[in-house]
């Protein structure tokens, strides 16, 4: 089994000093004495420590690449916005490295840090706590930015429009439109902010919450058709469905059409992902739009600001409801 690479915290533990002192010593910070610097450098050599290549970028020794980590490249709204981010990066002389995490953020970060030209990282729509690897990356001077969800303890900038808020907006719209027994087709494998927001709105409005009406890992049209058919065959069949993905909303609508269920007469559908498909489909699908482009533009501007390497700015954005035929009664 391959040994884990030595980290700044490993050196700090060996010397019984704070990891930030190690980071400053390795970066020739003037506050560090020559004796401490030599001790840190010698220990790093003994432990076969390899510098995070991102630090070399910031010193101008390597070309800059922006690392963008998304949960799933099949998310069309996010992919479209990140494509525009890539075009802007290219125009500014940056390369863009896109990585799909499948919610394994630590693994994704390890892959990005291994690239010898990564200058900054943008995490899109993840729900994570601060990890040691994120902290160590920030210690080297690399900018970290999260877009979408609130990350408690995250030591980087955040541009927020949470999955929870999007689900709350969609579920409340369905309730206000006359729907009561509402199902959720989640794109994640476990309970997250989306499922929490959906559940809380139901309970706050005295609508029934049934765990069996939440289906996980629904990421495409085929899976959504299967899930919808199963829901409609159950004794507690829903009268509305919240879909995390636009493809899932299309799959749900097709499944309902196949079994002769009218949308929205008998069942309403809303997508938490706004794509061109939502408006073009028949019936047109209601959706919640997330301002990905605006948030990514703000993130890029922050990355380009050399005076804000360790910025912890937090900006909040509102999702936008796009009501259409699929929820009109």
Residues 72 and 100 in one domain: yes
111 is a domain residue: yes
Residues 118 and 202 in one domain: no
Q: Which residue's entry shows tokens 């690239």?
A: 115
Residues 251 and 232 in one domain: yes
Residues 76 and 132 in one domain: yes
Residues 198 and 238 in one domain: yes
40 is a domain residue: yes
Please provide the DSSP assignment of 261-305 as one string: --TTTT-EEEESS--HHHHHSSSPPEEEE--HHHHHHHHHHHHH-
20 is a domain residue: yes
The CATH number assigned to the domain holding 183 equals 3.40.50.2300
327 is a domain residue: no
Residues 142 and 82 in one domain: yes
How far is it, in rounded angstroms, from Cα 310 to Cα 271? 36
Residue 298 is part of which domain span? 51-161+293-320
21 is a domain residue: yes
How far is it, in rounded angstroms, from Cα 237 to Cα 266? 11
Residues 114 and 72 in one domain: yes
175 sits in which H/E element: helix 163-176
pLDDT of residue 70: 83
Domain count, the chain: 3
pLDDT of residue 1: 39
How far is it, in rounded angstroms, from Cα 245 to Cα 237? 20
Q: Is 262 exposed, middle or buried (0-12, 13-18, 19+ CB in 10 A)?
A: exposed
328 is a domain residue: no
- CB 279: neighbour CB atoms within 10 A? 13
Residues of the chain with pLDDT under 50: 1-2, 53-59, 117
Residues 151 and 169 in one domain: no
The CATH number assigned to the domain holding 2 equals 1.10.260.40
Of 155, 160, 96, 98, nearest to 126 by C-alpha is: 160
Query: pLDDT tens digits, residue range 19-39?
Result: 778 877 876 777 789 999 999
Residues 148 and 134 in one domain: yes
329 is a domain residue: no
Residues 235 and 131 in one domain: no
Residues 135 and 73 in one domain: yes
DSSP strand E in the chain: where? 65-70, 95-100, 118-124, 143-148, 157-160, 182-185, 214-215, 240-243, 268-271, 286-289, 314-316, 320-322
Residues 179 and 253 in one domain: yes
How many whole angstroms from its chain centre is CA 63?
Answer: 26
184 is a domain residue: yes
**HSE, side-chain direction, 13 A CA sphere, residue 303:** 30
């Amino acid at each position: 089994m391959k040994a884990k690479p030595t980290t700044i915290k490993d050196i700090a533990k060996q010397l019984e000093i704070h990891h930030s002192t190690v980071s400053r010593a390795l970066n020739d910070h003037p506050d560090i004495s020559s004796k401490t610097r030599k001790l840190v450098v010698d220990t790093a050599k003994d432990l076969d420590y390899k510098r995070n290549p991102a630090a070399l970028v910031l010193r101008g020794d390597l070309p800059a690449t922006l690392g963008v980590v998304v949960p799933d490249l099949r998310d069309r709204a996010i992919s479209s916005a990140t494509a525009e981010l890539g075009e802007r990066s290219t125009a500014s002389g940056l390369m863009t490295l896109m990585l799909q995490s499948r919610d394994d953020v630590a693994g994704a970060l390890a892959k990005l840090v291994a690239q010898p030209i990564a200058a900054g990282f943008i995490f899109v729509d993840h729900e994570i706590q601060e990890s040691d690897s994120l902290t160590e990356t920030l210690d080297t001077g690399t900018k970290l930015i999260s877009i979408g969800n609130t990350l408690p303890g995250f030591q980087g900038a955040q541009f927020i429009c949470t999955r929870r808020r999007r689900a709350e907006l969609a579920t409340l719209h369905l309730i206000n439109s006359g729907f009561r027994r509402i199902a959720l087709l989640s794109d994640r494998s476990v309970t997250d902010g989306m499922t929490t927001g959906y559940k809380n709105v139901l309970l706050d409005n005295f609508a029934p919450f049934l765990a069996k009406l939440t289906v996980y890992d629904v990421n495409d049209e085929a899976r959504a058709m299967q899930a919808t058919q199963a829901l409609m065959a159950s004794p507690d069949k829903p009268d509305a469905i919240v879909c995390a993905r636009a493809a899932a909303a299309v799959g749900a609508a097709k499944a309902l059409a196949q079994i002769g269920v009218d949308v929205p007469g008998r069942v309403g559908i809303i997508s938490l992902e706004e794509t061109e498909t939502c408006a073009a489909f028949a019936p047109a699908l209601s959706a919640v739009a997330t301002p990905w482009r605006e948030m990514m533009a703000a993130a890029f501007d922050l990355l380009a600001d050399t005076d804000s390497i360790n910025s912890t700015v937090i900006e909040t954005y509102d999702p936008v409801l796009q009501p259409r035929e699929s929820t009109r009664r």
